[in-house]
Structure 1
Amino acid sequence: MQHIILTHTEIEHKTKRIAYQIYETFANDSELVIAGISNSGFTFAQKIAKQLETISDIKIIICEVNINKQKPSEPITTSLNSDEYANKNLVLVDDVLNSGATLIYAIKHFLNVPLNKFKTAVLIDRNHKKYPVKADFKGLSLSTSLQEHVQVVFEENNSYVYLS
């Protein structure tokens, strides 16, 4: 059984709010890398980047982070070379923060390169962390049981988040 947690409109509002929070954090900067964890995290990163481009004059650079979510310790690749984000501001984006494994391994990847400021953003924070990682920007904090599964569906005009 699916239980809708966020509708398309609610996702749009949360994306816009996160974009404004990011803008407030980086308002004095001219460039910002938005790095999204592949698939839904990258889609969410693109949505945030699009909002940022409408509300600010910060140059947005989008980056896709490829990580094996079943084996996050395997090598991580990005759509940008490390010199393209070195010494810049970066926001790492994922759709759902569950145990924190994906996010912490992705953070570890970016720690090998000097960055000016480094923040994290998620649409849903499930509060089941096994790792000491937090989201600086989050759309919704959700207390769920470990048996429940949060799924984010991004479609052109019908995005939604459900719990099953």
Structure 2
Amino acid sequence: MAKEKRYILQSDIIEKKLNRLALEIIENNIEEKELVFAGIEEKGVLLAKKLQKIVKKFAEVKVELLTIQLDKSKPEEIELSAKGGFDDKVIIIMDDVTNSGRTLLYAIKPFLAFHPKKIQTLVLVERSHTQYPISANYKGLSLATTLQEHIIVEATGDHITGAYLA
């Protein structure tokens, strides 16, 4: 018998949280003419695309979309979908869940070769077990979990369908 999923976010609530996150991004970067959304493969990219559409609805700001590829278990090699031009730009790195903070920390690394104006981070769900000195600037949901619990974000195509505890 399959174990029932314990959902912490349903798709309708996720949409509301994405709208709130987009408005927070706009508010915290009100003077900016351009933002760079850097999504970590795979679900961070999905978040970045969805937030790009929402931000463009509410603000006159150019939003460049990048993809960050890295092996989350051994993040030694990090690839960006664009090679440069990040000086004086606001970069927002996005992922679905923060567990230890390591993925977000390593995702910042390629941008340090430049002189960005700001680097911010965004996650749909932030857990309270970070082992690295990083906390997301923007959070859809902060959640205290046990170390044994995992959070899974589900997506079908370009739609985030839910998030549950496993």
Question: Does TM, scored on the shorter chain, surpass 0.5?
Answer: yes
Distance 1:154 1:37 in 2: 15
Preserved CA contact (<8 Å) 2:14 2:160: no
Moved over 6 A (4+): none
What TM-score results when the alignment is normalised by the length of structure 1?
Answer: 0.95
State the SS of the aligned residue for 1:154. strand
- Report whether the alignment pairs 1:159 with 2:161: yes
CA offsets 1:88-118 (integer angstroms, 9 cap, x no match) = 1111111101100101111122222110121
CA offsets 1:96-143 (integer angstroms, 9 cap, x no match) = 011001011111222221101211111000011010001000000011
Distance verdict in 2 for CA 1:68–1:16, change over 3 Å:
same
Q: Which runs of 5+ in 2 are unaligned?
A: none
Distance 2:161 2:113 in 1: 34
Count of aligned positions:
162
Distance 2:21 2:114 in 1: 25
Q: How far apart are 1:146 and its partner, in Å?
A: 0.9
Distance 2:9 2:28 in 1: 26
Q: How far apart are 1:87 and its partner, in Å?
A: 2.2
Q: Report 1:75-94 matches (<5 A).
A: 75-83=77-85, 85-94=86-95
Q: Report 1:8-157 matches (<5 A).
A: 8-72=11-75, 74-83=76-85, 85-155=86-156, 156=158
The letter for the 1-side match of 2:78 is I
What TM-score results when the alignment is normalised by the length of structure 2?
Answer: 0.93
CA offsets 1:32-70 (integer angstroms, 9 cap, x no match) = 000010101111111111110111110010000001101
Task: State the identity %.
Answer: 39
For the aligned residues, what is the CA RMSD? 1.2
State the SS of the aligned residue for 2:93. strand
Distance 1:49 1:32 in 2: 9
Q: Which runs of 5+ in 1 are unaligned?
A: none
The letter for the 2-side match of 1:150 is I
Of the structure 1 ranges 105-114 and 125-134, higher mean CA displacement relative to structure 2 is found in: 105-114
Higher strand share: 2
State the SS of the aligned residue for 1:111. helix
Q: How far apart are 1:150 and its partner, in Å?
A: 0.3
